[in-house]
Every structure is written in C-alpha cells, then in structure tokens.
Amino acid sequence: MHSQIGDSDINSKTPISSGNADTTSSATCGEENANLTIRKPSNPSNPIAIKCGPLLQEIFNHATEFSLNRMFTETGYSEHAIQPSRQDHSGAYLIDRSPTYFEPLLNYLRHGQIILDSNVNVAGVLAEACFYGIEGAIRILTTMLEKEELQKEGLVSLTRKDVLKAIMSTPTNAELRFQGVDFVRADLSKLDLRNINFKYAIMHHCSLAGANLSGCCFERADLSHSNLQGAQLVCVKMSCANLAAANLHSCNFEDPGGLPANMEGVNLKGANLEGSNMAAVNLRVATLKNAILRNCILRSAVLAGADLECCDLSGSDLQDANLRGANLKDAAFELMLTPLHMSQTIR
C-alpha cells in the first residue's frame, strides 16, 4: 500500500492497516521496499509489533503510556486511550507523522543504529521514538541529546585535538592554564605538556603515558585511575591531588638540579609506582595504603606521617628516607637495597 494520504502532504502520513484482530498490512515510506508493518494484537496484553523488511521489532509490552499503543489497545473507553484517526478507502488508519523524524527510526528497525543527518533535530527524532515506543532507540537518542546539550553548555571534556590546538597556538615562553578543565578519558599520551597549570583539573581515567609533565601544577587535581606510565614528573606540584588507583609505573620524579617534586598530602591509595625514580620526592602525610612501590628509588624521600599500611616497598632504595611518624602496618620491606635505620622511623 502506498502512502497516498491527505490532500496537502502525501509524504507526511504513514498509513496503518485496520481490520479484525491480528490483521497486518504494510506501508511504504518514501523509498522502494521500505515497508512498515504494524500488527494489531488479538490480546491487549500482547505487544504491538512493527516489522520493517526482515526485522521484526516488538515495541510495546504493557507500555500503555506510548501514544501509538494507546490507539490500538482494546480499552477504547479508557480515560488514557487515544482514538485512532480517520481511515481511508482501503481501511488504513491515517497517522500524521513527520517523515524527517520517522526515517531514522525506520532505518533503526532495519539495522539497529541511529544515524542522523546534520540537519535533523535529535529532540524531534526522540519524540517520534517515544510516540512509537521504540525503547532501544529512546535510550540511544536520550544519550545523544544529553551529549548535545553538554556541548552547547561547553561542559564536554577536552580532547587531544583541543589540547594540541592550544599548544600550537601558544608561544614557548607563555604558560598554558587549564585550571579546573575537564579532561575525563582524554588521550594525552606522549605529549610535551611542560609547565602547564592543571590545578583542580578533572582528569580521571585520562591517558598521560609517556608524556612530559615536568614543572606542571596538579594541585588538588583528580587523576584517579589515570595512566601515567613512563611519564616525566620532574618538579611537579601535586599537593593534595587524587591519584587513587593510578598507574605511575616507571615514572621519573628526580630533578638533576636537586629540586624535589612536591606531593604532600597526595592520595595514592592503590596506585602502582613500581620501578619509579622518586629520589627526594616530598610525600609528607600522603596516603599510600595498598600502593605498589616495588623497586623504587626513594633516596632522601620525605615520607613523614605518610600512611604506608599494606604498602609493598620490596626491593626499594630507602637510603636517608624520612619515615618518622609513618604508618608502617603490614608494609613489606623485603630485599631492601640499603638497611633501614631506626632513626629514620622514630620521632
């Protein structure tokens, strides 16, 4: 059956067959073989099914809040029911819908993906999906709409491309300021990010593997679950930063000039720092519970008042390290390179 409906816009209406229970008919929607079939159930508790080509999609299952379902339920006298529109000479119901918004749903029923042209409003397609009660499409479109709104408000995380643009447009003698910026899950690996201000930045699950972060400020930044494996962290300022469960395997914190990295009060709970060069680093009152510091160079490091409970320091070099007042409960000190003197731990 072709969609020849109404007097003004023959492409804006989708005919739906009527008749006795369990009747089925199809309607083309502007292209060959783009058949939409809506089956009316004999039992109101059964789902109404839409068939598009070979794919059958059951879209209503006790979901009486959707408009199309309320048209074809048997409870015609319900206060929430919607009476179907007029029928044409062949018995098809005339459903007035926008073809612009219906076409993406028709394609979704074919291949299960929502693909929108740049000139199609996501909110309009979402409203159409709600009309037909296509729950899978509703979930996808809701996510798309939320992301679009975040982009309009400027709340989307910056990407590698955004950072590269900022770096290339900034002179080498100028400082970049990314204070409080969102970098969630951004891939910034192997970039030269020296001397950038990341204070208060949101960088959890961010990839900074192999990046040069020397001289950067990460004070109170959220770097939890981030990957900094092999990064250069010379002279960084990380006081009170959150590095819980972060990967800092084989990082370098040692400055040839002797200026220590400041990580006072940092949260390294469950972090992996195995094989890192942390000579003279300031970890005063830091939290390193359950952290892995195997084979680390911690010569002259300040760990006074740090929480090292269940921390694995096996094979590490703690020569002249300050451990006064540190919590060493269940900490592992096996295969130490240099002896640990009591004077390092007693106040």
Q: What are the contacts of 300-309 at 24+ separation with CB within 8 A?
A: 302/260
Express as a percent the part of the chain with pLDDT over 90.
48
- pLDDT score, position 16: 41
How far, in Å, are 2, 54, 151 from residue 237 at the CA level?
A: 70, 61, 31
Give pTM, 2 decimals. Answer: 0.61
Average pLDDT over residues 138-149: 87
Q: Please give the residue that has the higher pLDDT: either 63 or 307.
A: 307
Least confident of 53-67, 235-249, 254-268, 307-321: 53-67
**Third-level CATH fold of 155-346:** Pectate Lyase C-like (2.160.20)
Q: Tell me the backbone φ, ψ of residue 141, rounded to 5 degrees.
A: -70, -35
Does 36-73+82-153 match 155-346 in CATH topology?
Answer: no
Task: Please give the pLDDT value at position 68.
Answer: 59
Please, are residues 273 and 297 in contact by the beta-carbon 8 Å criterion? no
Q: Which residue has the tokens 């290339």?
A: 168
pLDDT digits (tens, 9 = 90+) for 185-243: 899 999 999 999 999 999 999 999 999 999 999 999 999 999 999 999 999 999 999 99
Q: What percent of the chain has pLDDT over 70?
A: 69
Instruction: Assess whether pLDDT exceeds 90 at residue 259.
Output: yes
Could you tell me the CA-to-CA distances from 50 to 60, 65, 190 in Å, in that order? 9, 17, 50
Query: Picking from 52-61, 111-120, 146-155, which range would have the lowest pLDDT averaged per residue?
Result: 52-61
Long-range Cβ pairs for the range 297-302 (8 Å, 24+): 297/254, 302/260
37-86 pLDDT, tens digit per residue, is 444 445 555 444 444 444 444 444 444 455 655 665 555 555 555 555 66
CATH number of 36-73+82-153: 3.30.710.10
Q: Which DSSP symbol is given to 291?
A: -
Domain boundaries, the chain: 36-73+82-153, 155-346
CA dihedral over 187, 192, 194, 197, signed as positive or negative: negative
Is residue 107 very low, low, confident or very high in pLDDT (cuts 50, 70, 90)? Answer: confident
On the 0-12 / 13-18 / 19+ scale of CB atoms within 10 A, 240 is middle
Contacts of 96 by beta carbon, 8 Å cutoff, 6+ apart: 6, 12, 13, 85
Farthest CA pair distance, the chain: 99
Instruction: Of 137, 135, 130, 5, give the one whose Cα is nearest residue 68.
Output: 130
Contact 12, 19 (CB under 8 A): no
Tokens of 346: 């007693």
Cα–Cα distance, 313 to 230 (Å, whole number): 19
pLDDT at 342: 53
Contact 117, 103 (CB under 8 A): no
Which pLDDT belongs to residue 81? 57
The pLDDT score that the predictor gives to residue 69 is 59
